[in-house]
Amino acid sequence: MILETVQLTKSFGGLTAVDAVDMQVEEQEIRAVIGPNGSGKSTMLNCISGIYKPTSGAIRFVGESIGGMAPYALTRRGIGRTFQNIRMFNSLTVLQNVMVGRHCRTEDTLLEDIFALPRYRREEEEMREKALVYLDFLGIVDKRDMMPASLSYGQRRMVEIARALATEPSLLLLDEPAAGLSQGEKSALADEVRKIREAGITIILVEHDMRFVMGISDQITVLDFGKKISEGTPSECRNDPKVIECYLGGKVGSHA
Amino acid sequence: MRQRKAFLVPSLGAGVFLLAVLPLLMTSDYWKQLLIQALIYIVIVVGYNFVTGDVGQLSMAQQGFFAIGAYTTAILTTTTAWPWWAGLVASIVVTGFVGAIVGIPTLKVRGQYLIMVTMAFSEIMRLVAVNWYGLTGGAGGITKIPAPSIAGMHFTSKTAIYYLFLGMAIIMILVAWRVRRTKYGRAFLAIRDGELAADVMGLNTTYVKVVAFFLSAVFAGVGGNMFASSFGYISPDTFGLSQTVLILAMLLIGGEGSIAGAVVGAIILTYLPELLRFAAGYYMLIYGALILLITLFLPGGVVGYAKKLWHTTLAPRVFKIPPPPPSVYTPKYDARDLMMEALSSRSSFTKVPKRSKAVAADEGEV
């Protein structure tokens, strides 16, 4: 088991966005977390990546309790992520954006950098080469010297995934990766995600697009109003009456 | 590319020649003094650009570091008769140390709070200078600060000081230029563009900001040394709030986030008062209006505007740049191998190798 949440709870004032959720994710699994708007999916991802401190409960990553750790510390432990609303470094080129992802894996110091000493040159070269490989992997290496602002939405999404891969994650969190992509881009993305998993990386994704989710996930966790209402393989979830009720609406007034 | 080189080499040569003969063209000591002043401001503003231009944190502490650098050299070279260069080293060490210490708590706050905290720091430094009479000479300041000297060479004439400072300024600009090309330079910009994303990409953003603050302080320390040793006299009056604002204005007018911008801004605002001398009482009015106009109509500063002009209209005409050839890339590694290698470097998931190092690094590097 690579990631485990135990009774994970996050509340904002009176609102409990994530309510005592238990979730276990196995290594090399593709796990989708789904649910209607406001069901707490993104909050959960933000807890796992350290952006939010859980109100109570535990998060364990490869056996270590990580609840409340800073995002950069978790990234160094091997949790990478992308954002729902793409967050590029807009004054850096595409290649430089991806290189920033690898900074946390380098050890050269400021003085070595200023005087361009051997270790700096070696690390910089490696950073550059590896960043190019990830860009190539995601099919956007020809855009390497462009500024993010001049890319299409789908291309920027790929840059963001390349940047997350450059941090060398063992667990990759994707927050609505298919949002805003065309059908063609979506199926290309699904292929990339599968390839990333085949390389040994575990993936947790939050997504609205059901076709995308059903086609790609091994396991699905369904949240509604912050509570886990169902969990299982895509076909199990599809046929779970509780899931159908929460998506299609149950008895009148049941959630009002 | 060759065309660019053919253009660059002569223009660089002309620039060096111009800088070399500049003091010979200035007949009065007063104008030479202004040249020296411009070089001092260049060093200070290029340093200030790290924290306020690149990382985008509006700091008002540069003046405080400038004061610390100036007083460190002044005190050590007058009371303990340290040589000038030792004073310079001391100024760098002390301001760098104070920069890091002050940066750690203050850089956790942002925006207007950071402005207030750093402004308070600069004010406190000035008040210390006024009130710690035994060390700083109080409001009267410190006089008879020896002129720069290295290994028996005394830089007493304005022209000699100009050449020395020109060398120092070029070294500091080169340092800044190097930093820009390293992961630190990229990390600075990444934080300015999106602090949360930078954090999630594994950057310890507070640490990176402290590095920027440290660098800013070191540059101000060098500027302080230059100021104290070239003027021979310092007093707390020099280090008031108006100087803080002047340094900020220099960066904004030149173009924040750009080394060239910092240099150009420092030069413009050193000479502007002289050029506006004819206006006498209306000087501040014109000065204020100019700053307002530049910030309104040239958001990237003078250099930002010049760059835009160059790229959009001048460069294509001068060089007739052909469209870049389609770039072909052959990957050096297989992406899958890279990912697997990264995973296996952590061996089995139950153990945490390399990560124990990462824990130590949490406090450490970028």
The residue of chain A nearest to residue B208, with distances taken between CA atoms, is A110
* Cα B281 to Cα B278, B284, B285, B286, distances in angstroms: 9, 7, 8, 10
The whole domain housing B154 covers 25-294
Q: Is residue B2 part of a domain?
A: no
Cβ-based contacts of B338 with chain A (< 8 Å): 130, 133-134
Report d(CA A215, CA A238) in Å as an integer: 12
> Which ipTM value was assigned to this complex?
0.91
pLDDT class for A245, splitting at 50, 70, 90?
confident
Q: Do B197 and A83 touch (CB under 8 A)?
A: yes
pLDDT class for B323, splitting at 50, 70, 90?
low
Sheet strands (E) in A135-212: 171-175, 202-206
Work out the number of other CB atoms within 10 angstroms of the CB of residue A116: 13
* Cα A131 to Cα A126, A171, B222, distances in angstroms: 8, 18, 37
The reported pLDDT for the residue numbered B272 is 86
Cβ-based contacts of B190 with chain A (< 8 Å): 89, 92, 100
Q: What is the per-residue pLDDT across B77-127, written as a single tens digit (0 to 9) for each?
A: 998 889 999 999 999 999 999 999 999 888 888 888 999 999 999 999 999
Closest CB from A100, A130, A168 relative to B186: A100
Q: Is residue B252 part of a domain?
A: yes
Closest CB from B183, B333, B339 relative to A103: B183
Interface test with B, best of A46, A64, A91 (most B CBs within 10 A): A91
Closest CB from A77, A108, A201 relative to B339: A201
Q: Is residue B356 part of a domain?
A: no
The residue of chain A nearest to residue B192, with distances taken between CA atoms, is A89
The reported pLDDT for the residue numbered B322 is 63
Work out the number of other CB atoms within 10 angstroms of the CB of residue B88: 25
Angstroms from B300 CA to nearest CA on chain A: 13
> Among A91-100, A142-151, B148-157, which stretch is predicted with the lowest mean pLDDT?
B148-157
CATH number at residue B42: 1.10.3470
In one-letter notation, the amino acid at residue A113 is D
Q: What is the per-residue pLDDT across B149-199, written as a single tens digit (0 to 9) for each?
A: 888 788 888 889 999 999 999 999 999 999 999 999 999 999 999 999 999
**Of B360, B359, B98, the residue nearest B213 (C-alpha):** B98
- Cβ–Cβ contact B365 with A under 8 A: yes
Q: Is residue B254 part of a domain?
A: yes
Report d(CA A118, CA B154) in Å as an integer: 37
Q: Is residue B95 part of a domain?
A: yes
Q: Is residue B136 part of a domain?
A: yes
Q: Is residue B164 part of a domain?
A: yes
Answer yes or no: are the C-beta atoms of A138 and A161 closer than 8 Å: yes
Answer yes or no: are the C-beta atoms of B313 and B306 closer than 8 Å: no
pTM: 0.89
Q: Is residue B124 part of a domain?
A: yes
Q: Domain count for chain B, please give it.
A: 1
